[in-house]
Amino acid sequence: VRKNVKKTSISRRDALLATLFGGSMIGLRSIATGLPVKLLLNPKKALADMQTTCTGNAGAAQFVIINTSGSGDPISCNAPGTYDDPTTGIDLSSLVHPDPVTYSWMAPTKMALGSKGAQYTAAQIWSTLGPGTGNADVLDRTCFAHIMTNTPVHPKEPEVLELMGATLYGEMFPSVLAKQLAPCLGTLQTQPISVGASTPSEALTFGGQALPTIPPTALSATLTNATTGPSAGMTKLQTLRDQTLNDMYDWYKDSSQTSPAQKAYIDSMILSQQQVRGISQSQLGLLSSITSNSNAGQITAALALIMMKVTPVIAVHFPFGGDNHADPAFNSEATQTQTGLQAIVSLMTQLKDPSFNLYDNVTFLNLNVFGRTMGPANTAGRQHNQNHQMSLMIGKGFKGGVLGGVGPIASNLGGDFGSLGIDVNSGAAVQNVSTSTSSVVAPLDSLASWGKTVLTAVGATSDQTNAAVSSGQVIQAALA
Amino acid sequence: MCENAHGPYFPLDPHATHVAWQLLCRGLVMNAKRVLGCATATALASACFLGGTPAAQNDAGSPDASTVLPFQADSPFVYVAKVKNIMTGLAPTQAEVDSVANAGDQAAQQAALVTLIDTWMTRPEYTGKMLTFFELAFQQTQITQTDFSEIVPNGNGSIGTSPEANLLVQNARESFARTALELIAEGQPLTSTFTTTRFMMTPALAELYAFMDWNQTDDNEKITDKFATQFKTIGVTVEDTTPITYADTIDSTKPTTYMHWYFPGLNSVQPAGPNNPSPDCQADTRTWISTNNANTPSAHLVHFLLYGGFESYKINSGPPPNNDCNAYQGGTNTNAIITGTDFSNWQMVQVRAPNGSEAITPFWDMNKLRAANDSSNPLVLNVPRVGFFSTPAFHANWQTNTSNQMRVTINQSFIVALGAQVDGTDTTNPALIGTNPPGMDPQHMAAGGAPCVGCHQVLDPSRSILMANYSDAYGIQTNASQTKGEFVFNGVVNNNVTTLADFGNQLATHPYFPDAWVEKLCFFVNSQKCDPTDPEYIRIRDDFKSKGFQWKVLVEDLLSSPLTTNAVPTQTTQVSEGELVSVTRRDHLCTLLNSRLGLVDSCGLDIVTTKSLVGIPEIAAGLPSDGYGRGAPIPVLPTSPNLFYRAGLENICEDVANEIIDAKTPPQGATTYASTASDAAIADFVATMMAIVPDDPRSAVMIGKLTAHYNSALTNSATKTDALKSTFVVACLSPNVAGIGM
């Protein structure tokens, strides 16, 4: 009977949409809810792919810090591969960069990248990851991947984080990584945490559910237990309180008056209490040192979460110039590229610090909603570039170098400059993909390939990688 | 079928090693079920509990586990508390619960609840809740001072960087929500929020509206500073020699003092120093006369003077790092004009265009702005202000540019007003739109081809309506050749939409409107959508329509409905969505603490008010909260209590306990408890904090558990004070506080 009721009471709007999307309205439901289409179509397999034990290469598992921006910051515009390209020889002299006189740290500078020491030019600030800076070997494990997200619009940030539909069931890539890594790293929770999302569009989801963003200062205030002051007496009674709450939970669960939905909520409270008590208090000093939500605050928060083994994946947002349509003299781009790089350098320095000793355990990634235009028309700001962005990968699992490159794009495809194909074995840019072999990643597959490459670098098996990301291929040249 | 597949509740063993896995499964299933309906979610559940892991199989219990948890009706003890909490944050009284429980049959109980709802609507706490709801629903939040940098031109400092600028931003956030509440109080339909030209403003916000009219940017990024033009000869003089009254400063009949601003302490502005090496940066004379520095006086200069600051931009033209002096606003001027109640005196103000050659309202005349109202003293402005989509907050939130060209603005307007966005699924017959509708961007037709046309043939004509009225920076559109556009959205095409008033009217009459706002309230109340095919939903929506879109009617209907109370099963709660007990997200939690304990803005969410507590705001910033994303018709609503919520709430509860238990100097107006009267305190913890009235069978149980905790704490050598504080924290951490619907 109910089934009939549903049929007869369907609205005109639903009827029209059903026509467009098919009887199940899978597409609309996916759009409306964020739940991935594939999950709707094959839920059994969706769940089967979730892991509770480490089935990948545990020794390669890494904590991941991923920097992401829904603004599409111009981190891509002054990186290696945007001044020259020794693999293609394409003339990139017309690409626009900030004035090196005004901004000395943006001066074009040659730097050796990769095991073969290929010489690329980039803004001088990128060389601070290299020799002579105390971070001598960071560039040796830094990949500059020239890829494209194929979207020029800000609201697609969540979809880009889902690798534009390439991830299994449309899961966000940070959550894909988290599911892979959590059982290998033994973290308290599987879900990733964003400490840097500056807008709800940058917030993460896990299994289609929205995850709260927790700024560093909030994290500090949240996880720190008082051992002095007026709350100290209450801290001593924490165990007793947990017992009372457990009694309360048990009573609710045993009561016939408690509805199943209420019992389900009680269960989630039980879990969260267990997780809280599993948090190591050894990093309280580190948490207490957080005074702002700046880049430095986000780094400290990420380090604390890793040291406490709370989560395998932390999302941050280091500004690199923002949505700089109007950026006279590229002032924002230059100044924030400096502060952004300083943040990465600071992170690497702290990872190496003996008090953390995490340099070989943490991978840093960058993935933005899109890159920005770089051609000569960009004199006082940059537009959205669906055809290019540079996604960083820094970690033990990578060997340094440039993956792919940039070249001119036909006007009917968006114009300006965009990413080229990538030879998966050498990492070299490939101009004419259509005539190349299957060992070349086409620009449209580059985002998914980037995801597969990252998964492989952090220990996922080939089967796991292929299951998690449906298209693209692993760029072997990136792997250490 | 789904409704026949109700297996037993999925029992979880909290001591099992796979609790997390089970909950993960259950969360995924529940999420899928809310979205997908029964069949898919049932399959998902089977996969989760049967095929997920062997351990999960063992823990899952029934292999027939359903995707929609079996429905079980809630009692008035539960749902009266839920509804009052949602509306006010307060706990119900015994009499209130009795009035429903003893009313008779279900219909009578629902009617009795409506009576209570009407009473609760009169409480200030309800106004606060609705303020939060409308701020989010109209997308006026999620902005900071820096978001005004594009729409308030000249760049250097925008609306200012002083603490008072943050007050102004909060005023901007609240303004339209207050407008909606005022219109509702007047008995206007909710659709009037799309067409209103009256807005609730503070004098400070009125100054911003006027300031933005005098100082704006066109599509070519050319700044027009009408103040600079008008006062080019007169100039602006800033001095600290002789006190000048503000009345004299703005009195054009007194040429010796007109536009002479008294600024005691001028010499202290930007003194020389390591970071300010250029002498040109320093206001080192006792009198600064704009025209002496080859500057024209700017609107910014006066705007900042009103706030007690001083802007010396253009004095220095050097490259970085000497550009620190390009903009400066300090709070050193004790003679600030916009202060105190200028940020808290709200008044409905009419905004209208000039009649003929009528002058626009001077932004520097705070006397006039303080007297602004919606009758005799309107704001006379050139920039059109109609409806929620015309406010500075909405514009700061959804900035556009030369490539976006108002597409974000129109899309977010559709999402707010009509609950849907342009996503390629528009139901409009393409034949009605035509192949080349007015305002269509030919580049997207030509370059993108078919995949782009679906969105752009809706977006472009509609956004052109806004482009014909606004520049890219939301100033007045000066390009007379701008195509006026055409309204196109989900079945409605109207090429006679020219002004913002036309646009607002079109939104107000669109068939999507009622469903959009019923669903927005569903999300706010139940943290999930209501099934639009549910007969109960349809009843509520149709009642909303037939009674002239009165908000009060919708609130009464939905909050008394079994969709909210779970008093009897509905299609939504039994079949399609299920009942959801959600985490008490930040705004609900903070209101709860304020309302039940007599605290004032315990979470520090309102920077205008004086806070009760100082430790909580930092934690509150990380609590799950309601939000909206760009291009997302559905709000961002975390519903689960993750470990951070649990840890944060515990620390919040401890902070509160320190303030109200045996406190020597408790916050003014706060409910306090004494360990010398622990029994009474514990009884009140249950009744007031946990919202369990005395006749509720749970009351005695909870009092017993809290009492046992108190006694155990004493046994563990705790002081009476610490024991009672800890007991309060237990109550504060209980599911009845941390969850909505317990």
Give the ranges where B7-144 is alpha helix by DSSP (H): 19-36, 38-46, 54-60, 76-88, 94-101, 106-120, 124-137
pLDDT digits (tens, 9 = 90+) for A267-312: 999 999 998 888 877 777 888 889 899 999 999 999 999 998 999 9
Q: Indicate the burial class of A59 (C-beta count within 10 angstroms; 0-12, 13-18, 19 or more).
A: exposed
Mean of pLDDT values over B673-695: 98
**How far apart are alpha carbons B582 and A96 in whole angstroms?**
51
- Look at residues B218, B225, B209, B605 and name the one whose alpha carbon lies nearest to residue B396: B209
B742 at A interface, C-beta within 8 A: yes
Higher pLDDT, B273 or B12: B273
- Look at residues A361, A364, A330 and name the one whose alpha carbon lies nearest to residue A346: A364
- Look at residues B158, B134, B133 and name the one whose alpha carbon lies nearest to residue B144: B158
Give me the pLDDT at residue B166, please.
85
Q: B729–A241: do the CB atoms touch at under 8 Å?
A: yes
Mean of pLDDT values over B613-635: 81
B614 at A interface, C-beta within 8 A: no
The residue with tokens 């037993």 is B8
Is the model's pLDDT at A42 over the cut of 70?
A: no
Instruction: For chains A and B, count residue pairs whose Cβ atoms are closer than 8 Å.
Output: 338
Q: Which residue of B has its CA nearest to A211?
A: B638
The C-alpha of A140 sits at a distance from chain B's nearest C-alpha, in angstroms, of 34
Task: Give B3's contacts in chain A (Cβ within 8 Å).
Answer: 2
Q: A44–B44: do the CB atoms touch at under 8 Å?
A: yes
Q: B69–A260: do the CB atoms touch at under 8 Å?
A: yes
| H or E element that contains B215 | strand B215-217
Which residue of A70, A207, A275 is in closest CB contact with B643? Answer: A275
Cβ atoms of B66 and B40 closer than 8 Å:
no
Mean of pLDDT values over B371-385: 97
Instruction: Please report, for residues A122, A140, A178, A353, the alpha-carbon distance to residue A395 in angstroms, rounded to integers and kept in the order given.
Output: 20, 9, 16, 16
Q: Which two tokens stand for residue B631?
A: 């291009």
Cβ atoms of B414 and B489 closer than 8 Å:
yes
Is the model's pLDDT at B67 over the cut of 80?
A: no
Largest pairwise CA distance in chain A: 77
Q: B401–A325: do the CB atoms touch at under 8 Å?
A: yes
Mean of pLDDT values over B62-80: 78
Give the CA count within 13 Å in the CB-facing half-sphere of A31: 16
| Amino acid at site A477 | A
| Amino acid at site A431 | Q
A459: left (phi over 0), alpha (psi -120 to 50) or beta: left
Q: Which two tokens stand for residue B728?
A: 């309060």
Q: Which residue of B has its CA nearest to A192?
A: B642
Q: Which residues contact A26 (CB under 8 A, 6 or more apart)?
A: A37, A40, A41
Chain B residues 534-573 with a CB less than 8 Å from chain A? 535, 538, 566, 571
**How far apart are alpha carbons A52 and B55 in whole angstroms?**
9
Strand B260-262 and strand B237-239: pairing?
parallel
Give me the pLDDT at residue A286, please.
87
Under DSSP, the state recorded for B63 is: T
B475 at A interface, C-beta within 8 A: no
Q: Which residues contact A437 (CB under 8 A, 6 or more apart)?
A: none
Q: Indicate the burial class of B498 (C-beta count within 10 angstroms; 0-12, 13-18, 19 or more).
A: middle
**How far apart are alpha carbons B725 and B665 in whole angstroms?**
16
Q: Which residue of A has its CA nearest to B141?
A: A199
Write b or e for each residue in B297-327: b if 16 or more Cβ atoms lie within 10 A of its Cβ, otherwise e: bbbbbbbbbbbbbbbbbbbbeeeeebbbbbb
Give me the pLDDT at residue B610, please.
60
Bridge partner list, A389: A147
pLDDT-derived band at B269 (thresholds 50, 70, 90) equals low
- Look at residues A64, A106, A1 and name the one whose alpha carbon lies nearest to residue A362: A64
Q: B interface mutation test: which of A20, A234, A267, A332 has the most B CBs within 10 A?
A: A234
* Number of C-beta neighbours around residue B614 at 10 A: 10
Question: According to the per-residue pLDDT averaged within each range, which of A196-200, A207-211, B687-691 is highest?
Answer: B687-691
Average pLDDT, chain A: 85
Higher pLDDT, A135 or B313: A135
Q: What is the ipTM of this complex?
A: 0.85
Question: According to the per-residue pLDDT averaged within each range, which of A297-311, A403-417, B160-174, B183-197 is highest?
Answer: B183-197
Give the 3-state secondary structure of chain A: CHHHHHHHCCCHHHHHHHHHHCCCCHHHHHHHHCCCHHHHHCHHHHHHCCCCCCCCCHHHCCEEEEECCCCCCHHHCCCCCCCCCCCCCCCCCCCCCCCCCCCHHHCEEEEEECCCCEEEEEEHHHHHHCCCCCCCCCHHHEEEEEECCCCCCHHHHHHHHCHHHCEHHHCCHHHHHHHHHHHHHCCCCCCCEECCCCCHHHCCEECCEECCECCHHHHHHHHCCCCCCCCHHHHHCHHHHHHHHHHHHHHHHHCCCCCHHHHHHHHHHHHHHHHHHCCCCCCHHHHHCCCCCCHHHHHHHHHHHHHCCCCCEEEECCCCCCCCCCCHHHHHHHHHHHHHHHHHHHHHHHHHCCCCCCCCCEEEEECCCCEECCCCCCCCCCCEECCCEEEEEECCCECCEEECCEEECCHHHCCCEEECEEECCCCCEECCHHHCCCCEECHHHHHHHHHHHHHHHCCCCHHHHHHHECCCCCCHHHEC
Higher pLDDT, B264 or A38: B264
Give me the pLDDT at residue B652, please.
94
Q: A3–B1: do the CB atoms touch at under 8 Å?
A: yes
Task: Give B725's contacts in chain A (Cβ within 8 Å).
Answer: 233-234
Span of A124-128, A366-370, B40-44 with lowest mean pLDDT? B40-44
The residue with tokens 């109340």 is B525
A251 at B interface, C-beta within 8 A: yes
Q: B interface mutation test: which of A151, A231, A249, A283 has the most B CBs within 10 A?
A: A231
Q: A interface mutation test: which of B18, B24, B34 has the most A CBs within 10 A?
A: B24
Q: Which two tokens stand for residue A36?
A: 């991935």
* Number of C-beta neighbours around residue A411 at 10 A: 11
Which residue of A102, A233, A270 is in closest CB contact with B718? Answer: A233
**How far apart are alpha carbons B525 and A415 in whole angstroms?**
48
CA A38 to centroid of chain Cα atoms: 21
Chain A residues 138-197 with a CB less than 8 Å from chain B? 153-155, 158, 188-191, 193
* Number of C-beta neighbours around residue A96 at 10 A: 17
Mean of pLDDT values over A197-221: 84
A414 at B interface, C-beta within 8 A: yes
Give me the pLDDT at residue B481, please.
87
Q: Indicate the burial class of A136 (C-beta count within 10 angstroms; 0-12, 13-18, 19 or more).
A: exposed
A292 at B interface, C-beta within 8 A: no
Q: Which two tokens stand for residue B199?
A: 């807005």
The C-alpha angle A412, A418, A419, rounded to 5 degrees, equals 130
Gyration radius of chain B's alpha carbons: 29
- Look at residues A265, A276, A219 and name the one whose alpha carbon lies nearest to residue A242: A276
Give me the pLDDT at residue B609, please.
65
B712 at A interface, C-beta within 8 A: yes
- Look at residues B142, B197, B128 and name the one whose alpha carbon lies nearest to residue B172: B142
The residue with tokens 């495809």 is A413
Strand A313-316 and strand A193-194: pairing?
parallel
pLDDT-derived band at A339 (thresholds 50, 70, 90) equals very high
Q: Which residue of A has its CA nearest to B18?
A: A52
Q: Which two tokens stand for residue A299?
A: 């780094």
Span of B11-20, B353-362, B546-555 with lowest mean pLDDT? B11-20
pLDDT-derived band at A465 (thresholds 50, 70, 90) equals very high
Cβ atoms of A171 and A30 closer than 8 Å:
no
Q: Which residues contact B556 (CB under 8 A, 6 or more apart)?
A: B114, B117, B118
Q: Indicate the burial class of A91 (C-beta count within 10 angstroms; 0-12, 13-18, 19 or more).
A: exposed
pLDDT digits (tens, 9 = 90+) for B425-484: 888 988 888 878 888 887 666 544 555 677 888 889 999 999 999 999 999 999 988 888
Mean of pLDDT values over A352-372: 95
Under DSSP, the state recorded for B419 is: S
Which residue of A45, A158, A259 is in closest CB contact with B579? Answer: A259
> How many residues make up chain A in this entry?
480
Q: Which residues contact B672 (CB under 8 A, 6 or more apart)?
A: B660, B661, B663, B666
**How far apart are alpha carbons B531 and B522 in whole angstroms?**
10
Q: Which residues contact B367 (CB under 8 A, 6 or more apart)?
A: B247, B250
Q: B interface mutation test: which of A248, A338, A411 has the most B CBs within 10 A?
A: A248
Bridge partner list, B200: B348
Q: B interface mutation test: which of A268, A277, A386 has the most B CBs within 10 A?
A: A268
Omega before B321 cis (within 30°)?
Answer: yes
Question: According to the per-residue pLDDT averaged within each range, which of A191-195, A383-387, A434-438, B694-698 is highest?
Answer: B694-698
The C-alpha of B301 sits at a distance from chain A's nearest C-alpha, in angstroms, of 22
**How far apart are alpha carbons A465 and A210 in whole angstroms?**
24
Q: Which residues contact B292 (CB under 8 A, 6 or more apart)?
A: none
Which residue of A48, A259, A268 is in closest CB contact with B641? Answer: A268
| Amino acid at site B13 | D
| End-to-end Cα spacing for chain B | 29
Query: Phi and psi at residue A262, in whole multiples of 5°?
Result: -70, -40
Give me the pLDDT at residue B56, please.
28
Cβ atoms of B77 and B696 closer than 8 Å:
yes
**pTM metric for this prediction:** 0.79
B5 at A interface, C-beta within 8 A: no
Q: A interface mutation test: which of B36, B58, B221 has the most A CBs within 10 A?
A: B36
Q: B401–A326: do the CB atoms touch at under 8 Å?
A: yes
Instruction: Please report, for residues A360, B291, B363, the alpha-carbon distance to residue A353 in angstroms, rounded to integers and kept in the order given.
Output: 12, 57, 56
Give me the pLDDT at residue B444, please.
67
Task: Give A3's contacts in chain B (Cβ within 8 Å).
Answer: 1
